[in-house]
Chain A
Amino acid sequence: MAERLKVHVDPDKCQGHARCNALAPELFELDEYGNAHETGDGSVPPGLEDKAWLAKSNCPEIAIDVIEE
């Protein structure tokens, strides 16, 4: 059974590179300044786990956590 994932963007680390939003628009949204936030409570719908890890591994500021629940 696959584990449930949650994503979280640390707002103090995010500098608005917007890589997460480009790679996983379903999981990350951008505010008016272009800084990223997880969509909703950050729960990763089944099938998007790969995108969550991809977003994390492309964030230059290491601002994204993927939490396995």
Chain B
Amino acid sequence: MSDVNQPAAHPPVTDWVHDFDHTDPQWTENPFPIWDELRAASPVVHTQRFLGCYLPTTYEAVREIANDTEHFSSRRIIVRDVRPEITSKNAAPPITSDPPVHKPAKQLLLPPFTPDAMKKLEPRVRAICNELIDDFIAEKSVDAAARYTKHIPVRAIAHMLGIPESDSELFINWIHMILELGITDESKLLQAVQEMSAYFSGHIEARKNKPTDDLISYLMNARDKDGNPLEDTHVLGSLRLLLIAGIDTTWSAIGSSLWHLAKTPADRERLIAEPGLIPTAVEELLRAYSPVTMAREVVKETTISGCPVKPGNMVLLSFPAANRDPKMFPDADKVVIDRRENRHAAFGLGIHRCVGSNLARMEMQVALEEWLKRIPDFRLDPAGTVTWSQGTVRGPRQLPFLLGKAM
């Protein structure tokens, strides 16, 4: 690869309002005060980094952009140092689609992810959680990210797709290359996309002779609006999307939730005493620690919350920052596990609402229920360090806990 593709070091940020950078270590470690500072400055801020990028800082500005597909395109959905060429090979419909192509592509994916469909998957997810817990429950300390939260979503989506759960490490590595290393090193991104496509092509070929009862066969049998089978590139793109979107995100959400409960005994004790409150708590944890930041590309000049935005720039669509807007959420900086009104945007707003939101919610509820049932007492290990992922998806990647009652 040419030098152009070598990762460039980003200078540390000293002026967040005019030079923000979501890959800066300060943002990765603790983004909340940064968002407060930016929101106080303007509903939309801009940086010259990433070849030009805006950041809406309020819930309202995020909602406006998410609902405006005329001025904001989803053809690029990750803010990077480079703008890779848009081809059918790296498209992942429907997340990278705009109207009118978006709706039929999205509708194909919706039926397998309804709440009813998730109820059928729930027993397998519960079993996965317990298998993982069995493996470390006798130990005094555990890295819950490496031994628990990381494995639940990848195994669940593998189960749905009909690919071996034992290939999990492979998937996790591709996702790391795409979502983290790929921000600054395009060669890693392309390599991962190529490897994933080759992997899934094999599974598609195998099913051409021997159809199976899984999501890959479902997509291969699906018909577009004209009644024709989907092209292999469309099936591949959707499979890549499901794997990428289904893993890092929920891994992060479950991890942040356990991190919160580890350091908040009152919330932990309440959820153990009132397990019926877990679904409400999951919504609040999704709001307070939303893992996913999406992006758009400005394709037509417009104004957002009174601020001009110009084509050629990307937009970092921070649902996590929107969810911390005190104008929308009273006590936005506090986790209120029985919050009654919660219009959080963790799964996005508008036509690109996360197709896997019902899956993610089910996984979070089950993962917390099973953990709290079997490990009611746990806390952060003062000898360890919690580390957070950088970039598009934020969640704990090291989560050292001590298990059992504190002495």
Residues of A within 8 A of B (CB): 15-19, 21-22, 30, 32-34, 54, 57-62
Contact = CB atoms under 8 A, between A and B. Distances in A.
Contacts of A18: 114-115, 357-358
The SS class assigned to the A binding surface is loop
Contacts of B107: 33
Contacts of B279: 22
B219 interface: no
A19 B342 CA distance: 10
In this complex, the member of A21, A54, A61 whose beta carbon has the largest number of chain B beta carbons within 10 angstroms is: A61
Given A33-B107, A60-B343, A60-B349, A22 B115 contact: yes
B31 to A, nearest CB: 21
B347 interface: yes
Contacts of B349: 15, 60-61
Given A16-B357, A34-B358, 18 more contacts: A15-B350, A15-B351, A16-B110, A17-B357, A18-B115, A21-B115, A30-B115, A32-B110, A32-B111, A32-B114, A33-B107, A33-B111, A34-B111, A34-B113, A34-B114, A54-B340, A57-B341, A58-B343
Contacts of A22: 115, 279
28 contacts: A15-B349, A15-B350, A15-B351, A16-B110, A18-B115, A18-B358, A19-B283, A21-B115, A22-B115, A22-B279, A30-B114, A30-B116, A32-B110, A32-B111, A33-B114, A34-B110, A34-B111, A34-B113, A34-B358, A58-B283, A58-B341, A58-B342, A58-B343, A60-B343, A60-B344, A60-B349, A61-B349, A61-B350
Interface residues of B, number: 22
Given A18-B115, A34-B110, A57 B353 contact: no
Contacts of A34: 110-111, 113-115, 358
Contacts of B353: 15-17
Contacts of A21: 115
B339 to A, nearest CB: 10
B113 to A, nearest CB: 7
B317 to A, nearest CB: 14
A68 B7 CA distance: 59
Contacts of B113: 34
B331 to A, nearest CB: 16
B280 to A, nearest CB: 9
A18 B107 CA distance: 15
A61 B344 CA distance: 10
Interface string B319-363: 000000000000000000000111111010111010001100000
